[in-house]
């Protein structure tokens, strides 16, 4: 499944990466969403409505919602799979609701910092939604240009928040408390176990934490970006690997962001090339723009390749 890694203790640039691992392609599309967009939460009951305060570059999943993105204020958000459990989402109450498919977009549209998101955590109800016939569990990671970070997980009908710059890695199940307890069994995090080599979620969490711990200080922004992409490559799953059970699937794409300088990166695992877009080149546009990130001709600065489009979700 997926992994997120945030490098926030270097002095050059706050950079983050994540990978998308799934049984089939999520058919990603890259969108520029301007300020002033009227949105609703996509929920079946009492959907929340808002007008976007900030522009963003985001990835959609099957054209049903936003899985990842970065806004003009340097706030990034990432949705990763979490095993669904009975009662994990709050039941209907007096609050307006936002479906899991629009959770990331809601965050990027409305907030500039992690602290703002955490302060408003109970303002709306996050609700489950069946996507492509599946009842999905989701938890999100958010981080901002100051280096602040939070992991937000639905547990027992409440959103449990792990808030602070120390929360730099997220994988899939189990939940964050169990991942941290497992990490403490390994060197150099308090235990004696050596680095594991599997691709299960707990092992990926440990490996990402381990190599992030030892990343040397970058000399420039390029090295700060390259460092986190090197780490996400280390936990990515190649096509054809014989892991057909246990919820372990190949990596379809990797995305990243330089929060300090407002640049979003994407690499399809079907292409050898990385491309990127600076939000400074798009942020004042008043129309929705789109780009197919699966286009294998994309490489380098690709802001000029965006074209006007109608947002499909």
**Distance in angstroms (rounded) separating the CA atoms of residues 89 and 97:** 11
Rounded to 5 degrees, φ, ψ at 149 are: -150, 155
Domain contains 313: no
Rg (CA), the chain: 18
Our measurement of the distance from residue 116's CA atom to the centroid of its chain's CA atoms, rounded to an integer in Å, reads: 18
Look up the CATH number of the domain holding residue 27: 3.60.60.10
Q: What is the pLDDT of residue 245?
A: 59
Contact predicate 70/279, CB 8 Å: yes
**Distance in angstroms (rounded) separating the CA atoms of residues 302 and 299:** 7
Q: What is the pLDDT of residue 239?
A: 87
Can you read off the two tokens belonging to residue 41? 């939460």
**Distance in angstroms (rounded) separating the CA atoms of residues 142 and 152:** 8
**Distance in angstroms (rounded) separating the CA atoms of residues 191 and 235:** 21
**Distance in angstroms (rounded) separating the CA atoms of residues 17 and 6:** 7
* Closest to 296 (Cα-Cα) out of 305, 307, 287, 309: 305
| Half-sphere exposure (Cβ direction) of 143: Cα atoms closer than 13 Å | 30
The residues annotated as belonging to the active site are: 2
* Closest to 98 (Cα-Cα) out of 58, 34, 154: 154
* Closest to 267 (Cα-Cα) out of 256, 278, 280: 256
Domain contains 303: yes
Domain with 118 in it: 3-308
Domain contains 220: yes
Q: Which residues of the chain have pLDDT under 50?
A: none
In the numeric block, the tokens 């008043």 are attached to 286
146-172 pLDDT, tens digit per residue, is 999 999 999 999 999 999 999 999 999
Number of domains in the chain: 1
């Amino acid at each position: 499944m997926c992994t997120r890694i945030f490098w926030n203790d270097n002095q050059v640039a706050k950079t983050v990466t994540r990978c998308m691992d799934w049984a089939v392609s999520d058919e990603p599309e890259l969108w520029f969403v301007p300020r002033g967009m009227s949105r609703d939460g996509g929920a079946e009951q009492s959907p929340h409505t808002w007008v976007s305060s900030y522009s963003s570059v985001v990835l959609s999943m099957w054209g049903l919602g936003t899985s990842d993105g970065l806004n003009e204020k340097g706030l990034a958000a990432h949705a990763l799979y979490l095993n669904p459990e009975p009662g994990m989402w709050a039941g209907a109450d007096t609050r307006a609701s936002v479906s899991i498919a629009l959770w990331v977009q809601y965050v990027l549209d409305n907030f500039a910092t992690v602290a703002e998101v955490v302060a408003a955590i109970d303002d709306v109800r996050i609700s489950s939604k069946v996507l492509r016939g599946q009842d999905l569990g989701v938890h999100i990671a958010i981080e901002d240009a100051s280096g602040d970070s939070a992991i937000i997980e639905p547990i027992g009908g409440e959103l449990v928040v792990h808030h602070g710059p120390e929360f730099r890695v997220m994988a899939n199940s189990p939940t964050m408390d169990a991942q941290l307890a497992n990490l403490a069994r390994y060197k150099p995090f308090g235990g004696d176990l050596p680095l594991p080599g599997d691709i299960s979620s707990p092992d990926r969490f440990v490996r990402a934490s381990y190599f992030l711990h030892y990343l040397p200080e970058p000399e420039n922004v390029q090295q700060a970006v390259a460092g986190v992409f090197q780490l996400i490559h280390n936990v990515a799953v190649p096509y054809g690997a014989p892991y057909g059970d246990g919820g372990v699937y190949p990596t379809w794409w990797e995305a990243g962001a330089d929060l300090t300088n407002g640049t979003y990166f994407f690499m399809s695992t079907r292409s050898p090339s990385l491309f990127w877009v600076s939000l400074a080149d798009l942020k004042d546009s008043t129309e929705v723009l789109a780009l197919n990130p699966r286009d294998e001709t994309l490489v380098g600065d690709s802001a000029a390749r965006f074209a006007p489009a109608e947002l499909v979700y």
